[in-house]
A and B are shown apart, each in its own frame.
Chain A
Amino acid sequence: MDLSYSPQEQAFLAEVQAFLAEALPSDISNRVASGAGATRDDMERWHTILNEKGWLGGTWPVEHGGQGWGPIELHIFEEESALANAPRIVPFGLKMLGPVLMQFGTAAQQAEYLPRILDGRDWWCQGYSEPGAGSDLASLKTRADQDGEHYIVNGQKTWTTLGQYANRIFCLVRTKFEGKPQEGISFLLMDLDMPGIEMRPIRLIEGGYEVNEVFFTDVRVPVGNLVGEENMGWTIAKYLLGHERTNIAGTGFSVQAYAQLKDLAQRVTRNGKPLIQNPLFAARMASVEAELEAMKITNLRMLSTAATGGQLTHEPSMLKIKGTVIRQELNDLARRALGPAAAPFPSEDLDNLAIAPPCHGHNAAGYFNNRKISIYGGSNEIQRNILAKGMMRP
């Protein structure tokens, strides 16, 4: 048993740290650290910097402009990026559609779309969930009816993250109405400026805007925009789910959140002493730290299995559940630590009043917004179903 990285992995870790220290603009990392979140411009600038380094599609094969990183390299890159307060890579093109096109797309589709994902000409968003098809995704109703060289698309998608910045969308649509619902789904690419597509914002609990509803009315989509065979969409979606589950534990976010919490607990006071000396609060911090250390090892154990060619099926669902619970507990403590200073509705004007210590004016907003992480990407209830199905198999 050896818990340390190999010499090559350690060298890569040092390279990533050095790169982040040099290349990540401080105005961007400051915005991420403050909880205000990266702006569209921040995300695009960071993508460009990473692409110039060749790391934007780090896990992509070399022939498609990537580095061919394995699971450990990806983990090192993502954890260090989170610790450095880099913006999260927008996953829809790079981590979702890209791998799908490499696996299922035609050579023409790969040649057309993959370079545009890397250089930022295309910003993809995802059209999966519908108002009536959330956890039960296979019941989706948005339909694509073939009419000669086109599909006619009608229906509605929802929870489309950052769709307001996107120019293209990949969707799961229904192309067959009889038989098992999973067998009548296709994977279709669309330009958001096609006539008949309308995007409407959904405001979230803390007041922010990051998700959308998308409406499709008689949208004419060339049949060439189909990925894979017709009615093969569910297979593609399941393949994609496997890719979405890299970094599912979010350990980098949690480690960073814990470091910020520890700093905060030393700066705010209760009963005339630093909060970190308060036994009730310190007990919560110590407990969540132990949970986090354990989860980091669980995560590395699974990564190691994946890196050495082992088979993971339902197990990563454990990481999703535990990872989100730990992050949410850290968000809870960061909110709680502020006491009344967590109460103001965040705004730039208030930052100047220094009601909360610097970088902590958004703690309550972050806590409320991050209730989403145990809901999206397959809720923790669905993850438990996956685990139960996997473990109770006769």
Chain B
Amino acid sequence: MNFEMSDDRRMLSDTLRRYLADAYPFEHRTAVAYDAPFHDPEKWADLAELGVFYALVSEECGGMGGHGFDIVTVFTELGRALCPEPVLGQLLAASLLRDTADALEPILDGSDRYALAVGEIDAPYEYGTPKTAATHVSGASYTLSGRKTVVYGAASANRFLVTASLPNGPLGLFNVSVEDAEVIGYSMIDGGPAGEVVLDGSPGTLIVDDAGPLLEPTLDLGALALCAEALGAMEIAQDMLVDYLKTRKQFGQPIGAFQALQHRAIDLAIEIEQARSIIILAAAAEGTPDFPKRAAQAKHLVGKIARQVAEEAIQMHGGIGITWEYPLSHYAKRLVMIDHQLGDSDHHLERLMAGLVEG
């Protein structure tokens, strides 16, 4: 048994942490995350140069990593820095386009920026039967009509992977260029790019005409990445809280001297270790038949824990914890809003409950 990070991943983690500390100090992060294009294209190029996207992709697909632990390593660091770069879209695209060799190179070098357009107004977390419809033109060429809502990364993407129902019913996955779609970009409440993607006879190239088996493991990979991002953000929130409890004085002593607060801070520490452990378990299961269950367990637990950390860290800080100027508020927003991406804690609990019934 060995829970140590491999040397390669340790190096990746250290490099990324140093880079982000330097490139994404908090002031820069808040300056770019809430104004169009809601990230920093120069920093995106830096991340590409550092090989971050290679770390998300397996060697057989031209990358240098792609294992669950590689993904966890990258996204934990992004979470610690509260980095608004839309890296998740790149991970999902690389997974979905694994058999489309000429699409992978621009993902790896960052020259294409992808966003996955799955969610629709009446189907926030389900992707099986989209209202967005595909009409065949010729060969792999189709036209698509429909609206994809709250597409993470949309405001800064130049390519979209879009789910749409094929004429005879099955779920198709299409590659759509930004020039062929109407994108209404906006910032998320926790910063970073998102948007509505409106398709009206928009040309799209069919990638696969039975997208379910490709989407399922990809979305689980995304869930794992989001859990790791939350873990990184929770580590920082915990550090800020402990530091505040030790330094903020009221009634003539550090507030951390009050047992009522000590116990609550410790409860958070216990929960964060639970989150770390379920993420390790899920990362280890990546690529095995256990992965869907482990990913669901991770996203379920992390959704609950991240909210608890956010709310309790704010409460124990008091008023300062809900000010825009104080970094904790932005970490807390990210921690809560991660639960709104790729299925919330209840959505994944339902998956787990269904698994119990099926045995």
Q: Identify the A interface with B (CB < 8 A).
A: 129, 132, 134-136, 139, 158-159, 202-207, 211, 268-272, 278, 280-281, 328, 332, 335-336, 338-347, 349-350, 353-355, 364-365, 367-369, 371-372, 374-376, 379-381, 384
With A372-B322, A380-B315, A384-B260 in contact, is A339–B125 under 8 Å at CB? yes
Q: Which of B10-18, B77-85, B181-189 contacts A (4 or more CB under 8 A)?
A: B181-189
Contact A344 B324 (CB under 8 A): no
The answer to whether B139 has its CB under 8 Å from any CB of chain A is no
Docked pose: A278 CA to B353 CA in angstroms: 13
Contact A269 B122 (CB under 8 A): yes
Contact B324 A203 (CB under 8 A): yes
Instruction: Name the distance in Å between B266's Cβ and chain A's nearest Cβ.
Output: 16
Interface of B is mostly: mixed
Instruction: Name the distance in Å between A192's Cβ and chain B's nearest Cβ.
Output: 21
Contact A278 B189 (CB under 8 A): no
**Chain A residues within 8 Å of B124, by CB:** 268, 270, 338-341
Minimum CB distance partner of B129 in chain A: A272
Docked pose: A345 CA to B330 CA in angstroms: 13
Q: Identify the B interface with A (CB < 8 A).
A: 34, 119, 121-126, 149-150, 152, 184, 186-190, 194, 196, 249-252, 260-261, 307, 311, 314-315, 318-319, 321-325, 329-330, 332-333, 336-337, 339-341, 344, 346-347, 349-350
Give 20 CB contacts A-B under 8 Å: A134-B319, A135-B251, A203-B324, A204-B322, A211-B319, A269-B122, A278-B346, A335-B336, A339-B119, A339-B340, A341-B149, A343-B150, A344-B187, A344-B189, A345-B34, A345-B188, A353-B196, A355-B150, A375-B314, A375-B318
**Chain A residues within 8 Å of B125, by CB:** 270, 339-340
Minimum CB distance partner of B323 in chain A: A202
Minimum CB distance partner of B190 in chain A: A343
Docked pose: A376 CA to B189 CA in angstroms: 23
Minimum CB distance partner of A267 in chain B: B122
**Chain B residues within 8 Å of A365, by CB:** 189
**Chain B residues within 8 Å of A335, by CB:** 336
With A381-B261, A384-B260 in contact, is A343–B324 under 8 Å at CB? no
- A-B pairs, top 10 by smallest CB distance, nearest first, are A339-B124, A203-B324, A340-B150, A136-B250, A205-B329, A205-B322, A345-B187, A280-B346, A269-B122, A136-B251
Instruction: Name the distance in Å between B265's Cβ and chain A's nearest Cβ.
Output: 13
**Chain B residues within 8 Å of A347, by CB:** 186
Q: What would 6 more interface pairs be, CB under 8 Å, given A270-B126, A272-B123, A340-B149?
A: A139-B251, A158-B319, A205-B330, A272-B126, A340-B341, A344-B189
Contact A343 B332 (CB under 8 A): no
**Chain A residues within 8 Å of B250, by CB:** 134-136, 139
Docked pose: A134 CA to B339 CA in angstroms: 32
**Chain A residues within 8 Å of B249, by CB:** 132
Contact B344 A336 (CB under 8 A): yes
Tell me which of A135, A280, A346 contacts B189 (CB under 8 A): A346
Tell me which of B322, B325, B330, B349 contacts A371 (CB under 8 A): B322
Query: With contacts defined as CB atoms under 8 Å apart, how many contacts are there between chain A and chain B in the complex?
Result: 145
Contact A341 B34 (CB under 8 A): no
**Chain A residues within 8 Å of B122, by CB:** 268-269, 272
**Chain A residues within 8 Å of B121, by CB:** 341, 354-355
Minimum CB distance partner of A136 in chain B: B250
Docked pose: A202 CA to B324 CA in angstroms: 8
Docked pose: A46 CA to B34 CA in angstroms: 34
Docked pose: A367 CA to B189 CA in angstroms: 11
Docked pose: A270 CA to B332 CA in angstroms: 26
Contact A203 B322 (CB under 8 A): no
Q: Pick the most buried of B188, B261, B307, B324: most chain A CB atoms within 10 A of its CB.
A: B324
Docked pose: A302 CA to B123 CA in angstroms: 45
Minimum CB distance partner of A368 in chain B: B333
**Chain A residues within 8 Å of B344, by CB:** 336, 339
Minimum CB distance partner of B339 in chain A: A336
With A339-B125, A372-B319, A375-B319 in contact, is A205–B324 under 8 Å at CB? yes
Instruction: Name the distance in Å between A1's Cβ and chain B's nearest Cβ.
Output: 36
Docked pose: A338 CA to B252 CA in angstroms: 44
Contact A207 B324 (CB under 8 A): yes
Minimum CB distance partner of A280 in chain B: B346
Contact A205 B332 (CB under 8 A): yes
Docked pose: A159 CA to B220 CA in angstroms: 43
Instruction: Name the distance in Å between B253's Cβ and chain A's nearest Cβ.
Output: 10
Contact B340 A343 (CB under 8 A): yes
**Chain A residues within 8 Å of B149, by CB:** 340-341, 355
Instruction: Name the distance in Å between A358's Cβ and chain B's nearest Cβ.
Output: 13
Docked pose: A374 CA to B339 CA in angstroms: 23
Instruction: Name the distance in Å between A380's Cβ and chain B's nearest Cβ.
Output: 7
Contact A364 B189 (CB under 8 A): yes
Contact A342 B340 (CB under 8 A): yes
Docked pose: A350 CA to B188 CA in angstroms: 11
**Chain A residues within 8 Å of B346, by CB:** 278, 280-281, 336
Docked pose: A339 CA to B322 CA in angstroms: 23
**Chain B residues within 8 Å of A342, by CB:** 189, 337, 340
Contact B322 A379 (CB under 8 A): no
Instruction: Name the distance in Å between A199's Cβ and chain B's nearest Cβ.
Output: 16
**Chain A residues within 8 Å of B123, by CB:** 269, 272
Instruction: Name the distance in Å between A273's Cβ and chain B's nearest Cβ.
Output: 10
Contact B349 A280 (CB under 8 A): yes
Instruction: Name the distance in Å between A238's Cβ and chain B's nearest Cβ.
Output: 17
With A205-B329, A340-B149 in contact, is A371–B189 under 8 Å at CB? no
Docked pose: A206 CA to B187 CA in angstroms: 12
**Chain B residues within 8 Å of A349, by CB:** 186
**Chain B residues within 8 Å of A211, by CB:** 319
Docked pose: A369 CA to B329 CA in angstroms: 10
Contact B119 A344 (CB under 8 A): no
**Chain A residues within 8 Å of B340, by CB:** 338-340, 342-343
Contact A379 B329 (CB under 8 A): no
**Chain B residues within 8 Å of A339, by CB:** 119, 124-125, 340, 344
Contact A341 B319 (CB under 8 A): no
Contact B315 A353 (CB under 8 A): no
**Chain A residues within 8 Å of B126, by CB:** 270-272
Docked pose: A304 CA to B347 CA in angstroms: 44
**Chain B residues within 8 Å of A272, by CB:** 122-123, 126
Docked pose: A380 CA to B307 CA in angstroms: 18
